Chains A and B, each alone.
Chain A
Amino acid sequence: MNAEKLLIIVPAFNEEAAVGHVVREIREVTPGVPVLVIDDCSTDQTAAVARAAGAKVMSLPHHLGLGGAVQAGYKLAFELGYQYVIRVDGDGQHDPRYITAIFEALRNSGCQMVIGSRFLEGKFDQATLVRALGIRFFRLVLRPILGRPVHDPTSGFVGVNRDALQVFSRSFPLEYPEIEALVVLQRRKFRFLEVPCRMRRRMAGRSTITVFKSLYYIVHVLLGVFVNVLKYERKRRRG
């Protein structure tokens, strides 16, 4: 892999128990590729652990949430001239062994975004029932908007090239960014590709997703998707 072209970003918030292992795994799989941990103002030792594991760390001055942290990484990568950026979450759910497949797909397909997909072969065994239902629902919603099926629209294990990087450094959804980001790219006639990958359980800590948060997620994302669709439809009509 060309270290001059690829940057791996790891957004992390209070992940001291997992982030060190994640960074070491990434460095084993992709030697020479810089790893940037974006510390979203953690209250634990996330930044120190990541540094000790060999990552560069960018610390946000206050907690921005996942979208804000990822966008900060995209902005820095764009400024530093990187051609490709792959996001790997700091909780250890994304298996770094699939980074190579995502990077190769990014380089060879000409697509602006490559998604590491858990469900490309139709298996939902890694998801809980609620999550599987949610993913099926968003697949149905996104199918006519994107004009093609997407198997794992909520996956955060994604790689982007410089064209997408430019778009995302200007405009990126701040809460629950994955689905809206797909719509943003599609409206700009960018293409995406899915490659199969496996995801693991979080290495430490507990997921904070509750029933109320799931409902909020659905309403929030639906609203974001339709606002994006309407916004670009209006731009398109205006020419």
Chain B
Amino acid sequence: MQALLDFTTGISVVLILMVLVSIRRQHIRVEYSVTWFGAALTLLLLSRSPGAVSKLAGALNISDPPLALVSIAGCLFLLVLFRLSVILSNLKDANIALAQRVAILEYHLSAHEEETARS
């Protein structure tokens, strides 16, 4: 149990540092880092509170606290991935609309230029 908690602490700290460095280098925008921070902090707090993990395992009716911790971590990352899919879908929609608008405007522009050249 202790080994797993220490490992989770290590992973959480690494994740928090990675996100911080990425924000500083502008590889990730602040608004998209919030969910990663939330997930990493939750894991950090849980990994430093074995009592809380045991209580959570009891509440979830999971007999093995380490298994509960792994399950919670898995769920957190699933939530993060789901949120990213939503963001990605919105961005794709916006990107398609933008590309279509650019194409339409370029079409209007070239039609206007052709008319001007004729007259």
Partner-B contacts on A (CB < 8 A): 38, 56, 58-62, 64, 68, 71-72, 75-76, 79, 174
22 interchain pairs (CB within 8 A)? Answer: A38-B103, A56-B107, A56-B111, A58-B103, A58-B104, A58-B106, A58-B107, A60-B103, A61-B99, A61-B102, A61-B103, A64-B100, A68-B96, A68-B100, A72-B99, A72-B100, A72-B103, A75-B100, A75-B104, A76-B104, A76-B107, A174-B96
B66-109 CB contact bits vs A (8 Å, 1 = yes)? 00000000000000000000000000000010011011101100
B115 to chain A minimum Cβ distance, whole angstroms, is 13
CA distance A56 to B96 in the complex (A): 21
Q: Which residues from A are CB-within-8-Å of B100?
A: 60, 64, 68, 71-72, 75
Mostly, the A contact residues are mixed
CA distance A60 to B104 in the complex (A): 8
Residues A68 and B99 in contact, CB atoms below 8 Å apart: yes
Q: Which residues from B are CB-within-8-Å of A68?
A: 96, 99-100
| A74, closest chain B residue (CB) | B100
A79 to chain B minimum Cβ distance, whole angstroms, is 7
Given contacts A60-B99, A68-B96, 15 further A-B contacts (CB under 8 A): A38-B103, A56-B107, A58-B103, A58-B106, A58-B107, A60-B100, A61-B102, A61-B103, A62-B99, A64-B96, A68-B99, A68-B100, A72-B104, A75-B100, A79-B104
CA distance A174 to B96 in the complex (A): 9
Residues A59 and B103 in contact, CB atoms below 8 Å apart: yes
CA distance A61 to B107 in the complex (A): 12
| B102, closest chain A residue (CB) | A61
Residues A64 and B106 in contact, CB atoms below 8 Å apart: no
Which of A56, A61, A79 has most B Cβ within 10 Å? A61
Q: Which of B96, B106, B111 meets A59, CB within 8 Å?
A: B106
Closest 6 pairs (CB-CB, A-B): A72-B100, A58-B107, A60-B103, A68-B96, A61-B102, A76-B104
Q: Which residues from B are CB-within-8-Å of A59?
A: 103, 106
